[in-house]
């Protein structure tokens, strides 16, 4: 045992005069009396109880000595062992699985109790910093030796809806609280996860919680079924850690109307996982939930929130010399995802071979010919083509490999100065560029698709799909559901887009990034388009509710410090002495 303030032990010398006072006796003054016979009975009773009185006085002295010694040792602040006064970083796991359990026995509450016990046991002997970790490491306090401030900060900690980020967990060993890495300790309080790396001895793991059986949704998707009007398809994957057979139901519900579209009985054997695609008719656009009707100690993964957006096709017009290939390409996309559809009357985008003077839609022009506002001059086919690129990450080009695709029968032409060129020949001839005139935008592809069997290559439908999606402003869309902790870029071009989160609207800029940290529903509007999507846990590691048997090999005190218990002992001794004193006074 060592002492933080050993000089206070010198106060034990005061026990000597205290003991002397108890042993000093006051000699009574003798007085003459005429009634001696009356005092004889009193003297006889005192002689019979003299031994008890001496024992009582001795016991009273021992109580006072005990109280005084306890206070002296408490002031000296004793501690077990010869532990150095080191700084400490306490990290509490606040990932989603820490919500498991019920109220006072939840894993996050057990972790907070553990951290509180550690801080109280230090009694200001160490400086402590607090941090939490889920997707990233967050520091809550600087180094402090004030237990009250630290404990109050711990009370405000809650588990998040995000899974534990393995990369953030690996970075724990790199943090230093002081210049000497041996002069501090890092305590990590967690329930355990398969995402946890193998920590070295710098990180001291302390596990909380117990094994919990769970049924949770770990993957989901929701899409319209191509070619079947009003029919949607929902994909679900469920993790099962029950050690017994279980019978429950899966419920598909439209959130706005409250209509239950599907109620599916679910019977699983012990540990059996579930994975299925569920089709349902009369589906409506909006927010949908798929939930497991099973109460357990981890409800966060029992429900997944998804968005189903209105079926918005892109109408395609054709002004081409070989319509068969173009029609089959567009119809192929119509059959697979229903996204493109031929509409010769009011097309949004017109596919052109040669040139056109139409101003009613955006244009995708192949094999440019004659004079046009979309190029300033045009000449003979190029003799040799060596392709160079300008922006390989643009939505129009990110799925194209120009070296493999090639530009057969490309012509020597000049593009207007304000054209955005994505690919060009080594002599500067543009091969793929975009140009805007008024409200009309055109993408010019300087190749003849009838040459070198380009119609039959996979690059023909690829370039049609990429260009039409870009011209329609649909190249970036939103998924029906995202896992918590995902960072997304909002589609569109508007500076005043609107996003509604849990019925609360806010104005954001398109192309800005937002981080989806909570399980919730979202509705986003920009450029006359609207997207519904949901955010849910979707983490197999958290749904498994794995636990680790981790106890640090280094000594770690918890609970109240020794000095507090010494003060309690002193108070009890003084209370007992006070009771004995009043009994002597009355008796």
Q: Per-10-residue mean pLDDT for the chain, 587 residues long?
A: 69 76 66 66 59 65 78 71 71 94 88 90 79 92 89 95 85 62 78 72 84 94 86 95 94 94 94 93 94 93 94 88 92 78 89 85 93 92 89 83 91 94 94 92 94 92 91 84 94 83 87 92 86 95 80 55 74 75 55
Any domain includes 314? no
Residues 44 and 19 both lie in one domain: yes
Residues 19 and 95 both lie in one domain: no
Structure tokens given for 239? 């993790």
Q: How far is CA 69 from CA 11, 24, 121, 572, in A?
A: 9, 21, 21, 13
Q: How buried is 554 (Cβ within 10 angstroms: 0-12 exposed, 13-18 middle, 19+ buried)?
A: exposed
Query: Between vectors from CA 35 to CA 29 and to CA 37, what angle results, nearest 5°?
Result: 100
DSSP structure string for 433-481: EEEEETTEEEEEE-S-TTGGGGGGSTHHHHHHHHHHHHHTT-SS---SE
Any domain includes 29? no
Predicted pLDDT at 432: 95
Any domain includes 304? yes
Any domain includes 436? yes
Dihedral in degrees, nearest 10, Cα atoms 197, 203, 209, 215: -10
Any domain includes 576? yes
Any domain includes 43? yes
Predicted pLDDT at 320: 92
Domain endpoint, select from 449, 466, 501? 449
Residues 253 and 372 both lie in one domain: no
Q: Which domain does 355 fall in, by range?
A: 319-332+346-449
Any domain includes 518? no
In which residue are the tokens 């010019």 written? 444
Predicted pLDDT at 575: 78
- Rounded to whole angstroms, the Cα distance separating 405 from 424 reads 13
Number of domains making up the chain = 4
Any domain includes 471? no
Residues 166 and 238 both lie in one domain: no
């Amino acid at each position: 045992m060592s002492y933080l303030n050993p000089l206070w032990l010198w106060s034990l010398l005061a026990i000597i005069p205290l003991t002397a006072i108890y042993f000093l006796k006051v000699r009574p003054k003798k007085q003459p009396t005429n009634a001696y016979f009356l005092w004889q009975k009193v003297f006889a009773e005192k002689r019979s109880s003299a031994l008890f009185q001496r024992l009582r006085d001795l016991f009273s002295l021992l109580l006072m000595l005990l109280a005084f010694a306890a206070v002296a040792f408490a002031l000296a602040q004793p501690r077990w062992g010869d532990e150095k006064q080191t700084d400490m970083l306490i990290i509490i796991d606040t990932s989603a699985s820490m919500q498991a359990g019920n109220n006072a026995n939840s894993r996050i509450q057990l972790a907070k109790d553990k951290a509180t016990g550690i801080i109280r046991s230090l009694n200001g002997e160490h400086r402590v910093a607090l941090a939490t970790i889920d997707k990233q490491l967050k520091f809550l306090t600087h180094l402090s030796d004030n237990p009250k401030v630290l404990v109050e900060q711990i009370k405000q900690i809650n588990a998040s809806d995000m899974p534990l980020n393995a990369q953030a967990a690996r970075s724990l060993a790199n943090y230093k609280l002081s210049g000497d890495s041996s002069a501090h300790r890092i305590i990590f309080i967690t329930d355990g996860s398969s995402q946890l790396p193998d920590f070295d001895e710098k990180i001291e793991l302390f596990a909380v919680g117990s094994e919990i059986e769970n049924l949770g949704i770990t993957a989901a998707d929701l899409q319209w079924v191509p070619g079947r009007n009003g029919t949607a398809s929902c994909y679900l994957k469920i993790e099962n850690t029950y050690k017994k057979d279980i019978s429950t139901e899966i419920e598909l519900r439209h959130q706005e109307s409250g209509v239950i579209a599907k109620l599916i009985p679910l019977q699983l054997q012990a540990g059996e996982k579930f994975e299925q695609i569920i089709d349902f008719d009369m589906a409506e656009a909006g927010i949908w939930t798929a939930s497991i009707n099973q109460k357990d100690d981890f409800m966060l993964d029992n429900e997944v929130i998804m968005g189903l957006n209105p079926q918005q096709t892109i109408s395609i017009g054709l002004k081409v010399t070989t319509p068969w290939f173009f029609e089959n390409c567009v119809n192929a996309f119509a059959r697979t995802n229903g996204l493109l559809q031929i509409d010769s009357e009011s097309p949004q985008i017109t596919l052109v071979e040669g040139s056109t003077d139409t101003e009613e839609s955006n244009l995708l022009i192949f094999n440019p010919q004659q004079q046009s506002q979309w190029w300033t001059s045009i000449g003979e086919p190029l003799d040799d083509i060596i392709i160079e690129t300008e922006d390989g990450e643009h939505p129009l080009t990110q799925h194209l490999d120009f070296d493999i695709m090639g530009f057969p029968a490309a012509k020597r032409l000049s593009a207007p100065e304000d054209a955005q060129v994505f690919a060009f020949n080594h002599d500067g001839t543009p091969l793929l560029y975009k140009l805007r005139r008024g409200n009309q935008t055109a993408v010019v592809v300087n190749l003849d698709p009838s040459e070198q069997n380009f119609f039959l290559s996979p690059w023909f439908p690829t370039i049609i799909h990429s260009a039409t999606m870009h011209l329609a402003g649909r190249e970036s869309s939103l998924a029906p559901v995202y896992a918590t902790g995902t960072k997304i870029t909002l589609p569109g071009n508007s500076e005043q887009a609107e996003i509604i989160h849990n019925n609360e609207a806010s104005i954001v800029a398109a192309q800005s990034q937002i981080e989806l940290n909570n399980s919730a529903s979202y509705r986003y509007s920009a450029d006359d388009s609207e997207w519904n999507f949901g955010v849910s846990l979707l983490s197999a590691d958290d749904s498994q509710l794995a636990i680790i048997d981790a106890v640090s090999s280094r000594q770690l005190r918890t609970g109240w410090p020794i000095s507090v218990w010494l003060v309690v002992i002193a108070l009890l001794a003084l209370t007992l002495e006070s009771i004995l004193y009043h009994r002597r006074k009355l008796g």
